[in-house]
Structure 1
């Protein structure tokens, strides 16, 4: 059968571009090494992630008596801290991620015919739609969050989008404008980290799903692959082995089905998701009751 070549990396060009600008994807096949890009990565991560979080953590000490402020700050900090783990994961595994992307160019991971092309186009199209939807939602949420202090006429003094402590009086111009701009850049950077790292991992899941679709189609049309039964069988087995060798975040077991794990702590499933929702609601109800008592 004639091979239908597909450039898998082309699907996530926008995703990769954002990661490059953020200092999280060295050019071409390079990894992190002493040089300009590593320095650039260190500066933007330290400034827009570490320092931004640090100023909010310190602020908890100064607003410790205000329960509502502590809860608001803690909620934001927890979300931002997860970005640190995501940045660390990408930097640590840059080589592995790029190796997997390079492997997808091999003939083993190409579509064999037009039918298989049609088969996986829906998955790729769905991923693109999800990515665009998340971009739109992130831009809308961030825009509202960042301009709200400027539109809030009820505020008695100048406010920032995030409650934070700075070793100077940020209410004085032009320090207020500079600090406000810093928080805007930090929030945008953190949003891009969550958006693009999550979607990069989701992309690998989509790629693997597409490969399993291709493999399933080959098995269904076993006799069309080659007139030699043994050759067709060997090709399918080798394809399956190569699919498993790309799989970074899956736990493979010869008895149990493939499962996605979260840092090898627990498996992601519908039951786990429902447990998380129930726990989150319980914490919310508790904090809400405490907030009412303090009024």
Structure 2
């Protein structure tokens, strides 16, 4: 029987083992699958108006990152992806130095919730502000979460390259935002004290915000003003009181520049209560309608329909 060691010349065993390790031993898995723009393709785009200021950053292979500040709201941050690369669940957000700045320790921001939606990460003002601050300091925020498919985590890196210029434009844009957005004032309510038709300072401020928005948004074509009363007293008196309340609001809107032909003013007396509490029913409601919006059914049941409060 021939000894197996005679198959190898001196020194050939080590060489053969080394070769075998390259062919048959599995490669060590990478720590993560990373997505992010490099120096050659990192861009930030500013979208600005009195309604919203947004900074948009394309993340190659993943989707896009957005810092968005709507009128009347705070700064938000979100990641969008059509590919569903991250598994829904708890991820982690840190602000870290780019590779060319070694020795800078990462700064953890906290856990983030990753959803299965296209907008997979949606963060509020605190996290969004820390992300913006990190980018302005030359750092790159990074979201890490387990992959939807595969064992390696997914890392989405937000590049700071070319961020400073658009960020300056964003800060200027924010100073010109309207005080409210459409969702906030599409339906508004003015309360009244018993037997009163007077507007308070807070009521006037709300109406001023509505006027400011309508003047800026050319798509608003109609403003419905609906007066209501409680059920205390006679129906005839309540009908007259609700009309006075609706007119008080309509006249104020006209005095601030709203065209009369944009207004539809109606009075309903005590016909459409929204609560058993009289104070809740003493009100005038204001509803905006944009071009192309489907007119709602003419009902007044307090459930979000045209006359509701």
TM-score (norm 2): 0.20
Looking at both structures, which has the greater relative contact order when contacts are Cα pairs under 8 Å and sequence separation is at least 6?
Answer: 1
- Provide TM-score, normalisation by structure 1: 0.21
- Structure showing the higher strand proportion among its residues: 2
Point out the structure with the larger helix share: 1
Q: Which has the larger radius of gyration?
A: 2
